[in-house]
């Protein structure tokens, strides 16, 4: 069997813990190279993960290695450039979330993948949980009737990341909305079947991140805190439904972290993590489905990567594709615009 050649761009923590870790479990593929910004860290990454060659220049890597599959694990602001380069080199691509910084970039990424007939997938891994799979099945079976109110939460009480460039607006494109809010947005939209959006209205705050300097995710410099620390938005769908998104790096809430989605339908409601489906009978709560524990995050990542590799091998499986990545990026852009301008934005 000729193995598909894999290259990884951006040798950081997600590349190592998720992408390299998964590719090593598949006999149909082999990682041939890693590209990272600094030679030392690229070499160390290659050594730790048994990867034969490392580069600091992606163009040189494409010319020498001719990979079939590429994982883009660089910081957000490089996703567009790196995905386009990989697609133009004829590769199938798995890109970390968020797809890009601007919706125009995500649109070009989607169109280039379509034009070149390549797989483009984004690592929105939460939708691959057994929990999301169960709820999607039940939506398709009509268990809920019309789902008309949804609440997606990606909240941290004091979780400003103390590493990388998460507080730098230019590098990241924003704060919690583009970093963690996108995860619960994708999970919610996936369960709903990606309904069309009519308009969005939002408000954001910067109240804590620019004053405090230490939290559960390490220390940061408040004088360099440039992004929102909490974000609240309403997304109205063309079918009349409403999705509320709440997301924060820092917000005075009771829990240290909440990553969940609640769905309210005519006949039943559900929460995503763990998947529970419930209804009411004469004032009493009736549990229709009750997963005692949510699928662990590592399983979700594994299934997301597995779907991508299977798709590259020609199987007809679901991935978080270029079109859905474009929709998420349009939503993020419209939500930020609404919050900046103080008006609703129609899509």
Ligand X SMILES: NC(=O)c1ccc[n+]([C@@H]2O[C@H](COP(=O)([O-])OP(=O)(O)OC[C@H]3O[C@@H](n4cnc5c(N)ncnc54)[C@H](O)[C@@H]3O)[C@@H](O)[C@H]2O)c1
What Å distances lie between residue 19 and 24, 74, 130, 295, 301, CA to CA? Answer: 9, 12, 20, 19, 9
Q: Determine contact, residues 113/119, Cβ cutoff 8 Å.
A: yes
Min dist CB 201 to ligand X, Å, is 26
Binding site for ligand X (CB under 6 A): 9-15, 35-38, 41, 73-76, 78, 96-97, 123, 125, 164
Q: In what order do the strands lie in the sheet with 29-35?
A: 53-55, 29-35, 4-9, 69-72, 92-95, 120-122
Min dist CB 310 to ligand X, Å, is 18
Matching residue, tokens 């507080």: 167
Min dist CB 61 to ligand X, Å, is 10
Min dist CB 179 to ligand X, Å, is 6
Instruction: Give the C-alpha separation, 52 to 37, whole Å.
Output: 17
Q: Helical H runs in the chain?
A: 13-14, 21-23, 39-48, 58-65, 79-88, 103-115, 130-141, 169-172, 176, 182-192, 297-312, 322-341
In the complex with ligand X, the residue whose CB is nearer, 97 or 156, is 97
Min dist CB 15 to ligand X, Å, is 6
Q: Which residue, among 153, 323, 145, 177, has the nearest Cα to 243 in the 3D structure?
A: 153
Min dist CB 57 to ligand X, Å, is 9
Instruction: State CA 328 to chain mean position distance.
Output: 9
Min dist CB 36 to ligand X, Å, is 4
In the complex with ligand X, the residue whose CB is nearer, 139 or 180, is 180
In the complex with ligand X, the residue whose CB is nearer, 54 or 225, is 54
In the complex with ligand X, the residue whose CB is nearer, 85 or 158, is 85
In the complex with ligand X, the residue whose CB is nearer, 13 or 216, is 13
Q: Determine contact, residues 346/198, Cβ cutoff 8 Å.
A: yes
Q: Which residue, among 130, 96, 95, has the nearest Cα to 299 in the 3D structure?
A: 130
Segment (H or E) for 29: strand 29-35
In the complex with ligand X, the residue whose CB is nearer, 20 or 277, is 20
In the complex with ligand X, the residue whose CB is nearer, 45 or 263, is 45
Min dist CB 308 to ligand X, Å, is 12
In the complex with ligand X, the residue whose CB is nearer, 40 or 137, is 40
Comparing every residue's Cβ against ligand X, the nearest one is 12
* Buried b or exposed e, range 241-259, using 16+ CB within 10 angstroms: bebebbbbbbbebeeebbb
- Geometric angle at alpha carbon 283, from 279 and 130, rounded to 5°: 20
Terminal alpha carbon distance of the chain: 47
In the complex with ligand X, the residue whose CB is nearer, 146 or 219, is 219
Min dist CB 326 to ligand X, Å, is 17
């Amino acid at each position: 069997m000729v193995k598909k050649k894999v290259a990884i761009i951006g040798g950081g923590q997600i590349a190592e813990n998720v992408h390299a870790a998964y590719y090593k479990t598949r006999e149909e593929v082999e990682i041939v190279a890693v590209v990272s910004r600094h030679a030392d860290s690229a070499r160390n990454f290659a050594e730790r993960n048994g990867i034969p060659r490392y580069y600091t220049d992606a163009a040189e890597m494409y010319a020498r290695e001719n990979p079939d599959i590429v994982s883009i694990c660089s910081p957000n602001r490089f996703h567009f450039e790196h995905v386009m380069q990989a697609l133009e080199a004829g590769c199938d691509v798995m890109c970390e979330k968020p797809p890009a910084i601007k919706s125009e970039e995500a649109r070009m990424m989607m169109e280039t993948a379509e034009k070149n007939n390549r797989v483009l997938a984004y690592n929105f891994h939460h939708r691959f949980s057994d929990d999301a799979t169960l709820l999607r099945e039940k939506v398709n079976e009509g268990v809920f009737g019309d789902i008309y109110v949804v609440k997606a939460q990606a909240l941290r009480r004091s979780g400003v990341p103390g590493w990388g460039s998460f507080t730098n607006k230019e590098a990241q494109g924003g704060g919690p909305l583009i970093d963690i809010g996108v995860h619960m947005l994708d999970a919610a939209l996936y369960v709903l079947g990606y309904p069309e959006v009519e308009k969005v209205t939002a408000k954001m705050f910067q109240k804590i991140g620019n004053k405090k300097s230490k939290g559960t995710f390490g220390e940061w410099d408040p004088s360099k805190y440039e992004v929102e620390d909490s974000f609240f938005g309403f997304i109205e769908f063309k079918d009349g439904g409403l999705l509320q998104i709440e997301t924060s790096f820092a917000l005075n809430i009771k829990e240290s972290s909440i990553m969940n989605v609640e769905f309210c339908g005519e006949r039943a409601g559900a929460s995503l993590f763990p998947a529970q489906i419930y209804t009411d009978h004469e004032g009493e709560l009736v549990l229709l489905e009750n997963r005692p524990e949510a699928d662990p995050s590592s399983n979700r990542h594994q299934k997301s990567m597995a779907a991508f590799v299977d798709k590259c091998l020609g199987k007809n499986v679901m991935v978080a594709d270029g079109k859905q990545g474009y929709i998420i990026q349009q939503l993020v852009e419209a939500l930020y615009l609404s919050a900046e301008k103080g008006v609703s934005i129609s899509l």
